[in-house]
A and B are shown apart, each in its own frame.
Chain A
Amino acid sequence: MLHRRTPLALAAAALVAAAPAAAHAQSAPLRVAYVLDTLPNGLTLIVHEDHSAPIVTVNTWRHVGSGDETRGRTGFAHLFEHLMFMGSEHAVYPQFDRLLEAAGGDNNGSTNNDRTNYYEEGPANALPLMLWLEADRTGWLLPTMDSAKVDLQRDVVKNERRQGVDNQPYGLADETIAAMLYPASHPYSWPVIGSMTDLSAASLEDVKNFFRRYYAPNNTTIAVAGDVKAAEVKALVEKYFGEIPRGPAITRNDPPAFSLHADTMAVLEDRVQLPRLYYTWHTVKAWAPDDAALDLVAYLLTGAKNSRLTQTLVYDKQTASQVQAFHDSRRLDGEFDVIATARPGHALPELQTVVDAELARLASSGPTARELEQAQNAREASFLRGIERVGRKADELNGYYYQIGQPDGFQRDLDRYRAVTAADIQRVVRTYLTGPRVILSIVPEGKRDLAAKGRSTP
């Protein structure tokens, strides 16, 4: 039960080959063995056997997220996720959580711009229960759904928003940036959690329509990973999901391409002690050719103590207390963020000068070979450690299938980072991170003088 299965051994071999200590450069490719099936109703099943521990995870993706919402109903995809735990015809509320706990299992769900995922995990013998619960709410959710349940989870979600946004320092940053970066018609221009007004407006009728449109088996993929037999999983899935009818085909009109034409600036006052600078650039979709290089740029800027912005701002000049860079690429679009918090006594323009200079330096002379290899090795190591767990592997199988149509995208994913060159880094910094951006300052109340400034010369 303590053992991990063979493909991961290969994974670690690939990792070792990447490190200079390895004598042989040739590494075995990372393969995560799986069985892929599609039921006549369109439900996709991915099974990965891993007999190293007597546990199983059922990871279900519904290909719907806040990116499918419309203005006036923001936050609905996530509110709906909460309602999926409110009981179904044969597993009435509150059996979902109680039966799973009584079998030693756990569960959760999450919603982002592009998808909603659900997982159940626990002892391997609980697999039939997990699939039964997931099937019942996939086919038979609406018979027991009512306004009282919608109202209750609406209150819970509003509390989630209070806890994560309204009562959090700097809590309004994300939604302020999204609204500045994306055109108002773009579904990434509003936050996944939604607005209080829109949450209040969500109705039982909305719930029914959303369920019928987006929760049909043909918009659902299930990845099962763990100490199970693929044939047994398939039989159970056919048994419980086979009778659920296919839903309407989903057609999406992706928003038109856009670009930011000039720097956009905003200043928010908040109950915070220190001012914080946010730079955001519009980049590329997930898996676009420059996606991996931009991820590595984030590491080169702030991934380790010797990364450029961390070393300069936090260690050398000591003008910032924290700095982080992220590249967040999604189905429709991507963005790159640099977030830096000033040290006491420092204002945001001091931080801007350094960030601008470091980006210019990376664009003009690129990373050293050693710097780039560190970024690649670190990324690979953290990825491989992540997929030690069946829960994470199942989620990746689902993610790769959704993004690239191939569940076992692990090696392909690793390869695109290994392929990035110093010239690629220079090029993507120049292309995406030196042009127009969103500049947000969040400053202590009454301290707008600490805020960031616009570019002095174009």
Chain B
Amino acid sequence: MVRTWSHRLVECVLTSILVVHIAQVRIIFKLPEHIGHYPHPLAYVEWFTSLRRRDPVSGQFVVTRSTRNHQRNVSVISADRFAHPCHLQAQCGRKITLDWTSDNVLEMVSAFHVNSYISLDTFVALSDCY
């Protein structure tokens, strides 16, 4: 039987384990053969902070860029660790800056709401999460 990532996430939530993080994917690549063999493609990712803080009004998780030594926190990971696409919405104040576009908003904004309304399964997976 094929099951969704939300089934798996709910299983993990029931055991109170924080199991997913959010990352922006920068490169999907293969390791050159002379360096070694790895069974999956690799990805260079930039991490966001953990799913811990919720917005008091919308109830959505709020995340920011994770940093290390004042630089973006980055890693190379195996492609089998990707669970599901994630939609982030820029957190805005009273005004929305006109400079923001879908192409640059991830670079220009410091805090984001994790959009749990993007799909029913995402809503189910995140609604009782943590």
Answer yes or no: are A and B bound together in one complex: no
